[in-house]
Amino acid sequence: MAVAGEELYHFAAELYPICRSITGSGVRQTLAAIRQRIPLDIVEVPSGTPVFDWTVPKEWNIRNAYIKSPDGDCVIEFQRSNLHVLNYSVPVHATMPLSELKPHLFTLPDKPDWIPYRTTYYQESWGFCLPHRQMLSLPEGEYEVHIDSTLEDGHLTYGECFLPGRTTDEVLFSCHVCHPSLANDNLSGVAVATFLAQSLAGLNLRYSYRFLFIPGTIGAITWLARNREHVGRIRHGLVLTCLGDTGGFHYKKSRRANAEIDHVVSHVLQRGKEPSDILEFSPYGYDERQYCSPGFDLPVGCLMRTVWNSFPQYHTSADNLDLIQPDALAASLRVSMAVVDVLENNRRYCNQNPYCEPQLGRRGLYRSTGGNTIDEEITARLWVLNLSDGQHSLLDIADRSGLSFQTICDAVEPLSQAGLLTVIPN
């Protein structure tokens, strides 16, 4: 895998200016850009479609928005930052005194130079977001407010990339594509997912891989509602988000807490070079909320660098292209690839010579002169033989032996060649 961090970064930068929301043309533009790189089915679900306890909302589109001050200056312009508009604002064109405007203005008093990101998906309303310092400087007087948006029956749009493998068991990667100009949350996740799919496409893989590029919450719910019969195929899954900042990795476990994906990601991170931390499941965060709802309880965790809401730029205009770094994106992709690698290879084997050790020496799998020590390569072979009783996966063996998954995995080929191991189908 020779994808440079620069390529990931440039893809995130390409998507950055688009004004995305949970529906509308911003999502379609984003999916079109992804489809330049990987095969992608684009699904359109009509407004009003019931999806479990929810209903697919009206489609929102926006062309322009501004606020003009009493002296006619454009003090707020959508064209300068799409965060300025309360996402899903209904159209408005009116003139009103500052006192009447103020309830529609959102700011961050403790981060006075940043524009907050706010939404009003499920309550028809309008508003503007702006730096607190700017709001304080607004003079009294009559303001012209204009939001040239539409909120009408249309569609919710999502993208799905399916890479068939040798089995119908699936690994799910899911990321949200509903945030406007926010880089770490979640263009970083979109970029990593796209390049991961690109890397896996065309490989001969054990699992089938499904990548979802969906609006947060309502998109995951919509996908689950439409695929309810098939989710049993999902053996492992990861939500990818906030993967571009330079903080250490965080893995939030699935609701099951001891699913194979939980073991795999923990092993990969703990063996990795970067600092990392494993977090328990909680029912808030990203779309693992839906995948891990009790009726589904899918083995889906969430891979992040810095956890949402624990970096100050979260959901503000400061989550921009300066916050994410090519090297950080590249390392996130490497971790994701390593997770895939362990999942692909984490089989159970059966020692064909379970009574006493087989004689490795005559098969050239041991040292020839008896002496002091055996090296890690031979140690790994002994561990694999000893624990390949059908109960232990290679990752179990790695964990119990203290050796890396790779070292354990490397023992399989020569032992299998020697007829000492057979894989257990699953």
Binding positions for a second copy, rule: CB under 8 A: 51-54, 86-87, 106, 116-123, 125, 217, 220-221, 224-225, 228, 255, 280, 282-284, 289-290, 292-297, 309, 314-315, 351, 353-359, 361-362, 368-374, 379, 382-383, 385-389, 400-401
Other Cβ atoms within 10 Å of 133 Cβ, number? 13
- What is the CB-side half-sphere exposure of residue 165 using CA atoms within 13 A? 19
Nearer to a second copy, 273 or 362 (CB): 362
Least separation, in Å, of the C-beta of 232 and a second copy? 13
Q: Which is nearer to a second copy, 141 or 232 (CB)?
A: 232
Least CB distance from residue 268 to a second copy, whole Å?
23
Q: By C-beta, is 117 or 249 nearer to a second copy? A: 117
CA distance to 237, 330, 381, per residue, from 410 (Å): 25, 25, 9
Distance CA 415, CA 419 (A): 6
Minimum distance between the CB of residue 336 and a second copy, rounded to whole angstroms?
25
Both structure tokens of 381:
């072979």
Q: How far is the CB of 179 from a second copy (least distance, A)?
A: 11
Number of C-beta neighbours around residue 266 at 10 A: 17
User: Is the distance from CB of 48 to CB of 152 less than 8 angstroms?
Assistant: no
What tokens appear for 330 in the block? 């590249």
Residues 6+ apart with CB under 8 A from 228: none
Among residues 17 and 361, whose Cβ is nearest to a second copy? 361
CB of 62 to a second copy, least distance (A): 16
What residues pair up with 133 in beta bridges, in sequence order? none
* Distance of closest approach, residue 281 Cβ to a second copy, in angstroms: 8
Query: Would you state the structure tokens that stand for residue 376, as one six-digit string?
Result: 């890690």
Dig out the tokens for 284 from the structure. Answer: 């808030």
- Strand spans (E) along 107-141: 128-129
**In the complex with a second copy, which residue's Cβ is closer, 145 or 178?**
178
- With a CB cutoff of 8 Å and minimum separation 6, the contacts of 373 are none
CB of 119 to a second copy, least distance (A): 4
Q: Which residues contact 82 (CB under 8 A, 6 or more apart)?
A: 17, 19, 62, 180, 181
Residue number, 207 or 383, with CB nearest to a second copy: 383
CA distance 243 to 330: 9
**Which is closer to a second copy, CB of 30 or CB of 351?**
351
- Residue 204 vs 369, nearer CB to a second copy: 369
In Å, the largest CA–CA distance within the chain is 93
CB of 215 to a second copy, least distance (A): 12
Minimum CB–partner distance for residue 107 and a second copy (Å): 12
| 420 phi, psi to nearest 5 deg | -90, -15
- Least CB distance from residue 30 to a second copy, whole Å? 19
Structure tokens at 232: 């049993």
> What is the β-pairing status of strands 92-97 and 105-106?
unpaired
Nearer to a second copy, 11 or 106 (CB): 106
End-to-end CA distance of the chain: 28
What DSSP element (H or E) covers 301?
strand 300-304
Spatial neighbors of 353 by CB under 8 A, at least 6 apart, are 385, 420
Nearer to a second copy (CB atom), residue 48 or residue 141: 48
- The residue count for the chain: 426
